[in-house]
Amino acid sequence: MGTEFPFEIKDVEPEQTKKLLEYFKGEFNGFVQVGPKKYFFPQKYRQEAANIYNMPVRPSDVFVTSYPRSGTTWTQELVWMVANDLDYEKSNAIPLTERYPFLEFSICVHPMNKEKFIEENSHSEEKLKTLEFVCQPGTEQLANTPSPRFIKSHMPLSLLPPTLLDTAKMIYVARDPRDVAVSFYHLNRLMRTQGYNGDFKTYWDFFVKDLHHWTPFFEHLKEAWEKRDHPNMLFLFYEELSKDLKASVHRVTKFFGKEFSDEEIERLCDHLSIDNFKNNKSVNYDVMKELGIQLTGEQSFIRKGKAGGWRDYFDEEMTQQAEQWIADNLRDTDLRFPHLDL
């Protein structure tokens, strides 16, 4: 790979790959596991690993990171609004996807899928241009992005540039893994880059066995949690955003050294309320639907936005298994989800 990358990248073994490819129709070449924690990605990660790890970080950069479906979009808009002094006009005019390049999205776009998307959008110059932008490696996009840059990533801290926290700001958001899994299951069915075609129980099985994009889930969280006291790190929980948005808004404003009046805070909370958020075109990733990367279904990118919805999906056995899995993974850490008594 030329550039320094300190972790070994191994192919997922053939039997396992064969099974995964039966369920994930958006992938064609299989998957890799990275480093001692075995972070799981599509094969295409090999091309991007060193570029992401060695990406030059600027002091004015703001990273919003999380395991997928943890309230990332919500947090992105909150952070952007606070850092940009509540510029509603710009927020409404420029889609979130453009305000925050997604650092590693290109690793999810298999070349065969990209060909398909190009063909389907070939009638429109504009769509082809957007498609090219969306599928371009994030490091290349960001090299040409003027400061201050806002960056979205689901990469665990250990696979991001090692100087990141000492150079730039990071906001990490975490959520109950059961809700994460339900939300991600729906997205994996909608996104043709993943093309998941199985049931939820099978999906959950892949998720807890760390055989799914960006897993292992708990290692991901723990890496950020260990740095939660770093002055450049703000660690949020989705459940706190959900329960007391105003308190979370205050934490973000303090993190950026900003001050707003009570009225301004009220208006921001209203802007971020889940009902307004679901109907906000700027944050709903409509571009993915327009390009055909996301299937147009009943569901928008922002789904229910509630905590505890997993109960509708888990049978008794899965519920017990999940409790045991969470307890086992939290045993050696003081990380606790604010709403769980485990």
Q: Where are the domains of the chain?
A: 58-330
pLDDT value at residue 280: 72
**pLDDT value at 274 more than 80:** no
Torsional class of 200: left (φ above 0), alpha (ψ -120 to 50), beta (otherwise): alpha
Percent of the chain with pLDDT over 90: 78
pLDDT value at residue 299: 54
pLDDT value at residue 342: 43
pLDDT value at residue 1: 42
Mean pLDDT of 62-77: 95
Q: Calculate the CA 40 to chain-centre distance.
A: 14
The residue count for the chain = 342
pLDDT value at residue 163: 96
Check: CB of residue 107 under 8 Å from CB of residue 45: yes
Per-residue pLDDT of 208-230, as tens digits, reads: 999 999 999 999 999 999 999 99
**Confidence category of residue 297, pLDDT binned at 50, 70, 90:** low
Mean pLDDT of 158-167: 98
DSSP 27: -
Give the span between the Cα atoms of 226 and 266, in whole angstroms.
32
Q: What is the pTM of this model?
A: 0.93
Encoded tokens for 302: 């922002």
Question: Is CATH 3.40.50.1820 correct for 58-330?
Answer: no
